[in-house]
Amino acid sequence: MSTQLDRFLHRRPDFREAVALEEISAVEPLMQLAATLRDGGHGDLVTYSPKVFIPLTVLCRDVCHYCTFARRPRELSQVYLDDSQVLEIAHAGDRQGCHEALFTLGDKPELRYRTARDALEKMGFGSTAEYLVHTAGLVFDQTGLLPHINAGILNSDEMSALRDVSASQGIMLESVSERLTERGGPHYGSPDKHPKVRLANIDLAGRLKIPFTSGILIGIGESRRERIDSLLALRELADTYGHIQELIIQPFRPKADTLMAAHPSAGDHELLWTVAVARIIFGEEMSIQAPPNLSPGAETGLIAAGINDWGGVSPVTLDHFNPGKRPGPRSRR
């Protein structure tokens, strides 16, 4: 291991030292240190969570240029899953030994689409978040699956209500780069993806003492320095509140029929570099995952780079955020 990196075996890099990691292009010494740190905190245990995806609605007010999850009303025969559909998915997961119900949905679609407002009114709810509280509670009460909420930006009352019916909540920071919100960038036209909005929401979760998952998306036009800045911003929030229970490093994968369909995929080298740097910045205790279905063939490398968790692996449902990607690795119990 490089003597330059040895000092981080027993302490985390400060801001200046973390920024300097940008200059280390060779991934092997970073991975060696990251693996040592991971082993110190987690041993040889790599975890995963058997789960089901519950896509409560695929309407969204944002227009992220890489997203295939969001749809427009004219593409749909139904705006929201109803109670019976939600429970059908949850019961199927329960029968297959799942423990987690991941609620995925677009961000506040009722602010953009009348069809969403009308559907909510017909069901007797004033907002998507209010309906989400209802369905998450229903799933927990009737199946025992633990709801994890991925619902975008929420206010304090909404997050507090969801805290009572869920095990955890989360949003990806994605990036602190405001460049990405400018015209031509992947987050242009998506107010909920502005870094200040995302950071404020993660901060709010900390003040509300909500167990939280966050992370960064790499390969969407950000620089290595901006990745480091994003990781440091998350570390500061984690240190302040202690609520971030898991960090996700997710590589961009281009998808057909999106504005970024021709944008190059994040390469394995960049993914391994970023995972290793994240482990060094956060230290041995943080749980760090990289979705295995987005990097087929790179699983061994990801472990060597310092992850200790595969995240949610579903034996029942598709990854609705990354359709067409293969399921996660088979598990043996």
Residue 324 pLDDT exceeds 50: no
- Specify the residue for token string 């760090």: 288
Flag whether 122 is in a domain.
yes
> What CATH number is attached to the domain comprising 226?
3.20.20.70
Closest CA to 274 of 164, 175, 153: 175
Residue-wise pLDDT tens digits, 240-288: 999 999 999 999 988 888 888 888 888 999 999 999 999 999 999 999 9
pLDDT at position 1? 56
Is 94 a domain residue? yes
Do the Cβ atoms of 125 and 134 come closer than 8 Å? Answer: yes
Number of domains in the chain: 1
Asked if the structure places residue 88 within a domain, the reply is yes
What's the domain range around 107?
3-313
- 320: in domain: no
Please tell me whether the overall predicted TM-score, pTM, comes out greater than 0.85 for this model: yes
Q: What is the pLDDT of residue 331?
A: 45
- 330 lies in a domain? no
Computed on alpha carbons and rounded to an integer, the radius of gyration of the chain in Å comes to 19
What is the percentage of the chain residues whose pLDDT exceeds 90? Answer: 77
Under the banding of pLDDT at 50, 70 and 90, the label for residue 139 is very high
The pLDDT of residue 170 is 98
Helix (H, G, I), strand (E, B) or coil at 147: strand
Task: Work out the mean pLDDT of the chain and round it to a whole number.
Answer: 92
User: Are the beta carbons of 109 and 71 closer than 8 angstroms?
Assistant: no
332 falls within a domain: no
* Long-range CB pairs of 155-161, under 8 A, 24+ apart, other chains included: 156/204, 156/208, 158/127, 158/129, 158/130, 158/133, 159/204, 159/205, 159/208, 159/210, 160/208, 161/129, 161/130, 161/133
| 322 within a domain of the structure (yes/no) | no
- From the number of C-beta atoms within 10 Å of its C-beta (0-12, 13-18, 19+), residue 58 rates as buried
pLDDT tens-digit series, residues 203-233: 999 999 999 999 999 999 999 999 999 999 9
- Angle among Cα 232, 181, 129 to the nearest 5 degrees reads 80
Q: What is the mean pLDDT of residues 35-54?
A: 96
The widest CA-to-CA distance across the chain, in whole angstroms, is: 65
The DSSP code sequence of 247-262 is: EEEEE----TTSTTTT
